[in-house]
Amino acid sequence: MKAVITVIGRDTVGVIAKVSAVCAALNINIEDVTQSVMQEMFCMIMLVNLSGANAAQDAVRARFAALGKEMGMQVTLTRQEVFDAMHTV
């Protein structure tokens, strides 16, 4: 199962490393990533594969929300099919 992780907030050192470390700890494979900094705001979108995750989806979502709180950023996980449905006319 694929999902999209979005990260938005003030740019700080180590954002990609911290998100990647959580992915590694949860055995989540990062398949694609794009990121940019726009006027001091960090924006990142990751396409990940949850097939090998070692935690339930609710626990994974909660861990990324907690990471967002730690970093003072918004970090969300959305299953790809939900993301696709939201953006289909």
How confident is the model over 25-51, as pLDDT tens digits?
999 999 999 999 998 899 999 999 999
Cβ-in-10-Å burial (0-12, 13-18, 19+) of 79 comes to middle
Q: Which fold has domain 2-86?
A: Alpha-Beta Plaits (3.30.70)
pTM comes to: 0.88
pLDDT at 80: 79
Length of the chain, please? Answer: 89
How far is the C-alpha of 49 from the C-alpha of 3, rounded, in Å?
Answer: 6
Beta bridge partners of 4: 47, 78
Q: Where are the domains of the chain?
A: 2-86
